[in-house]
Amino acid sequence: MDKYRFLTEDIILKISEYLEKFPNREQAIIPTLHEILNKYRDIPEDAVFEVSDFLKVPVSDVEGIVTFYDMFRNKKNARNHIRICRNLPCHLGRYKDLLERIIKLTGAEVGKNSPDGKWYIELVECIGSCAIAPAFLINDDLYDGSRIKDEDSLRKILERYS
């Protein structure tokens, strides 16, 4: 176990469960990356090599997943990650107004951490919640942007994560 820096004992135990569950090792890549993301808030570059080594899959397979999916960011991010959908239904639902309020209240900008390290904002193509457009996520919690009518209601939501 000392062979790895990022694959800790608890993560290796979870990977072992995934390997029992899935018929091939490639299927364990995404859940393994989720475990790393949950523990470190990002996917460190060396972790990609460790996952490849442990799962005995090509580095390019792991790196391809990390670079393809928005959720597997590989730079250190703030404590809370806000994802705002910008797809057509959310565009029509005025996601830009919501985005402006979030920027104002958090001090973060799209693609950058807030100065206090609490917030990171990302625009994404879809989070699969068109019925509540403009939809957004804070970490893994889904919010109905159409119900947020003023800064005060948004501030109350953000305070839950401070």
Rg (CA), the chain: 18
pTM of the model: 0.62
Are 135 and 91 a contacting pair, CB within 8 Å? no
Q: Where are the domains of the chain?
A: 9-68, 80-159
More confident residue, 103 or 40: 103
Give the Cα separation of 50 and 59 in Å (integer): 9
Which CATH number applies to 80-159?
A: 3.40.30.10
91-118 per-position pLDDT tens digit? 999 999 999 999 999 999 998 889 998 9
Confidence of residue 58 (pLDDT cuts 50, 70, 90): very high
**What gap in Å lies between CA 26 and CA 62, rounded to an integer?**
9
